[in-house]
Amino acid sequence: MWHMLLKIALLSLALEQSSRCGAASTYNNPSSNARHFPSDFMWGVGSSSYQIEGGWNADDKGESIWDYLTHNNREKIVDQSNGDISADSYHQWRRDVQMVRELHVTSYRFSLSWPRIMPGGYMNHVSTAGIKYYSNLIDELLKYNITPMVTMYHWDLPQRLQELGGWTNPEIIPLFKDYARLVLEMYGDRVKLWTTINEPWHVCEHGYGVDYMAPSYNFPGIPAYLCGHNLLKAHAEVVHMYREQFQQRQGGRIGITVDTSWPEPKNPDSAEDREASERAMQFYIGWFAHPIFSKHGNYPKVMIERIRNMSKQQGFGSRSRLPEFTPEEIHRIKGTSDFFGINSYTSNLVTPNGHNNTGKFPIPSFNHDMGVVESQADVDWPGSGSVWLKVYPKGMYNLLMWIHREYNGPEMIITENGVSDRGGLEDYARVDYINLYLSAVLDAIEDGANVKGYITWSLMDSYEWKAGYTEKFGLYHVDFSSPERTRTPKISARVFGNICKTNTIDWSFRPKLNEEQLVASARLPAEEAAENGGARLKWSLALLLSVVLAWIHC
Ligand code: BGC
């Protein structure tokens, strides 16, 4: 109770404070008047196959790299869990669509599981049950006028293909194209919004460079670049195929989703830190976006030069660890996206990595090649349920404006943005996060960024990769101990629903738990209820700090 009182007191303090501060402090300012989005703005909510579906071996589904990792290396997952059942969307998809409707969004972004559709990764075996599952989901969404936004690949590669080297083997290019052709044939009559691949940087660097995401190669500095090279070519081939064989008839659009945290210069007055920030953007975003969205295509110059020079110094001879595109390939990849999909959650402070590296990064490695040190140690940004995720909405503004400038004002869709906690239904921290980040998005729109849509992450609590079920990103709570995986809206679901319905950020809308939520809340597992209280306390203290800082600043 006392932390509720503390929070109310803090909020009123913040409200009062904000009326004294100018517009510059919008991001600390919960009292901004209601702000409106353009009337054609696309609102959505997202999920991904491995994270929610379960049914890991239902019907004739094949094994994915995440099934393999979680079954064979349980110790790599924080709570040693897996996505075998997860939120059981393989059976609960009708309820999922009902939730999507309750949120008043116009779009639902979900991904297809390649091994559910082609169990071994090859077209010799197509699963009728797998095809039917997504077909039903798409039909159900369309019945309620919700646009399906379908991601072809969100990290669950068929394990058999991994055994061939996965994305590091150029054979993946025709294989991905076969899979894409099949899904375009099966669903393209009804799906009008496609993305090929979710977050290439994560697929390549976190899958192959470090021991983070499946397949967990932990082989720095070499395979991630091979992965990126093949991935870009595979993406481009699919887009060309779509444009040549499907687009005219089906009338949809296709793109890619890249991701980054915003690299904020540690010292904004330092030219080196500003350069480090720019270099980080070129390595994180430019690696994949430059070949597709820039005027001349190819990898960013700074990446080509740094990796070539370092490869030479490191004894790799004249062949850079970053593969080279031929002029024909550069041309073929350029322009292969109808929009710029961007995922972003947080920011880091960045500074250059000194020449001697002082043992910070393995040599060679992506991080050493980039030469940037990132940290969140010296910031007062509020935290979340994930160590890596701190709340700094200005970072979203900076990121959108950077993309706007760098790639000549592309149409952008924010395909993921959201925040984690450790559980519970009273997720006011998520409400604040959404309001704050959306305010930053609106600021960018007002300053010229061509942002056409916002898809929040995520529809429901789900399997958070290596964090297992310990970190929750959902607008809907999922009771993972109930056989039917009961879903209950959190406070944020009602607030986000209101935003989507009214096209407006309304800071004054902070509903209390209703009857359904109170009943569900009373049934929360003890650890989650406790975490919820803890999270509220942490958020209150963070808010107190930001109010004090805003006060000093004014
Ligand atoms: C991924 C999601 C993930 C989210 C939060 C994104 O990078 O696309 O699958 O749940 O981050 O970690």
pLDDT, position 184? 98
Ligand 1 centroid – CA 262 distance (Å): 15
Contact call for residues 448 and 409 (beta carbons, < 8 A) = yes
Pocket test for ligand 1, best of 195, 415, 465 (most atoms within 8 A of CB): 465
In 3D, which of 297, 321, 316, 319 has the Cα closest to residue 370? 321
Q: State whether residue 150 is helix, strand or coil.
A: strand
Report the alpha-carbon distance of residue 317 to residue 327 in Å, rounded: 23
Distance 227 CA to ligand 1 centre (A): 19
Q: How far is CA 540 from CA 5, 8, 384, 494, 530, in A?
A: 10, 9, 12, 21, 15
Name the residue of 50, 111, 156, 457 whose CB sits within 8 Å of the most ligand 1 atoms, as the mutation to test its pocket: 457
Instruction: Compute the distance from residue 23 Cα to the ligand 1 centre, in Å.
Output: 32
pLDDT at 543: 52
CB 538 within 8 A of CB 383: yes
Q: What angle do CA 493, 499, 503 make, to 5 degrees?
A: 155
% of the chain surpassing 70 pLDDT? 89
Other CB atoms within 10 Å distance of the CB of residue 495: 24
Strand order through the sheet with 262-265:
262-265, 347-352, 372-375
Phi-psi region of 349 (alpha: psi -120 to 50; beta: other; left: phi over 0): beta
Q: Identify the residue whose C-alpha is closest to ligand 1 atom 12.
A: 464
Query: Which residues on adjacent β-strands are paired with residue 375?
Result: 349
Contact 389, 418 (CB under 8 A): no
Local structure of 350: helix, strand or coil: strand
Determine the pLDDT at residue 526.
74
* Fold for the domain defined by 34-108+268-523: TIM Barrel (3.20.20)
CA 328 / ligand 1 centre spacing (Å): 34
Report the candidate in 341, 347, 434 with the shortest Cα–Cα distance to residue 398: 347
Q: Determine whether 428 is exposed, middle or buried from the number of CB atoms within 10 Å of its CB (0-12, 13-18, 19+).
A: buried
User: Is 416 noted as a catalytic residue in this protein?
Assistant: yes
User: Does a cis peptide bond (omega within 30 degrees of 0) precede residue 25?
Assistant: no
Which ligand 1 atom is at minimum distance from the Cα of 51?
A: 9
Residue-range domain boundaries for the chain: 34-108+268-523
Contacts of 49 (CB under 8 A, 6+ apart): 110, 111, 112, 113, 116, 154, 156
Measure 449 CA to ligand 1 centroid, in angstroms. 24
**Of ligand 1's atoms, which has the minimum distance to the CA of residue 199?**
8
Nearest residue (CA) to ligand 1, atom 10: 464
Q: What is the 3-state secondary structure (H, E, C) of 61-102?
A: CCCEHHHHHHHHCHHHCCCCCCCCCCCCHHHHHHHHHHHHHH
* Spacing, Cα 155 to ligand 1 middle (Å): 10
Residue pair 247/194 in contact by the 8 Å Cβ criterion: no
- Ligand 1 environment, Cβ below 6 A: 48, 51, 198-199, 202, 259, 343, 416, 457, 464, 473
Write out the H or E segment, with its range, that includes residue 159: helix 159-162
> What is the end-to-end Cα distance of the chain in Å, rounded?
31
> What is the residue with the minimal CA distance to atom 3 of ligand 1?
464
Q: Encode pLDDT of 215-249 as tens digits.
A: 999 999 999 999 999 999 999 999 999 999 999 99
Asked if 233 contacts 171 with a C-beta cutoff of 8 angstroms, the reply is no
Question: How far apart are alpha carbons 12 and 14 in whole angstroms?
Answer: 5
284: tokens are 């994180």
Q: Which residue among 199, 374, 416, 528 is the active-site one?
A: 416
Q: What is the pLDDT of residue 528?
A: 76
Query: 117 — alpha (psi -120 to 50), left (phi > 0) or beta?
Result: alpha
pLDDT for residue 538: 54
Contact indicator for 109, 46 with CB cutoff of 8 Å: yes
Per-residue pLDDT of the chain (554 residues; tens, 9 = 90+): 334 334 333 333 333 333 222 233 345 555 557 889 999 999 999 999 999 999 999 999 999 999 999 999 999 999 999 999 999 999 999 999 999 999 999 999 999 999 999 999 999 999 999 999 999 999 999 999 999 999 999 999 999 999 999 999 999 999 999 999 999 999 999 999 999 999 999 999 999 999 999 999 999 999 999 999 999 999 999 999 999 999 999 999 999 999 999 999 999 999 999 999 999 999 999 999 999 999 999 999 999 999 999 999 999 999 999 999 999 999 999 999 999 999 999 999 999 998 788 889 999 999 999 999 999 998 999 999 999 999 999 999 999 999 999 999 999 999 999 999 999 999 999 999 999 999 999 999 999 999 999 999 999 999 999 999 999 999 999 999 999 999 999 999 999 999 999 999 999 999 999 999 999 999 887 777 666 555 455 555 555 655 555 455 54
Spacing, Cα 271 to ligand 1 middle (Å): 32
Beta carbons of 320 and 311 less than 8 angstroms apart: yes
Q: What is the CA radius of gyration of the chain?
A: 23
Contact 450, 400 (CB under 8 A): no
Report which residue type is found at 91: H
Handedness of CA 237, 240, 245, 250 (dihedral sign): positive
In this prediction, residue 21 carries a pLDDT of 28
Query: Among the atoms of ligand 1, which is closest to the Cα of residue 465?
Result: 10
Structure tokens at 317: 């001879």
Which 8-state DSSP code applies to residue 418?
A: -
Q: Among candidates 28, 46, 114, which has minimal Cα distance to 413?
A: 46
The protein residue whose alpha carbon is closest to atom 9 in ligand 1 is 48
Predicted pLDDT at 549: 53
- According to DSSP, the β-strands at 487-489 and 147-153 are unpaired
The first and second tokens of residue 336, run together, are: 């292969």
Type of residue found at 371? G
What pTM, to 2 d.p., does this model score? 0.92
- Kindly give the number of the ligand 1 atom that is closest to the alpha carbon of 155: 9
Whole-number pLDDT of residue 540: 54
Q: Which residues contact 361 (CB under 8 A, 6 or more apart)?
A: 353, 367, 368
Q: Which atom number of ligand 1 is nearest to the Cα of residue 462?
A: 10
What are the residues whose beta carbons fall under 8 Å from the beta carbon of 244, sequence distance 6 or more? none
Three-state DSSP string of 254-289 = EEEEEECCEEEECCCCCHHHHHHHHHHHHHHHHHHH
pLDDT digit string (tens) for 379-428?
999 999 999 999 999 999 999 999 999 999 999 999 999 999 999 999 99
The closest alpha carbon to 97, from 503, 463, 476, belongs to: 476
**Distance separating alpha carbons of residues 533 and 538, to the nearest angstrom:** 9
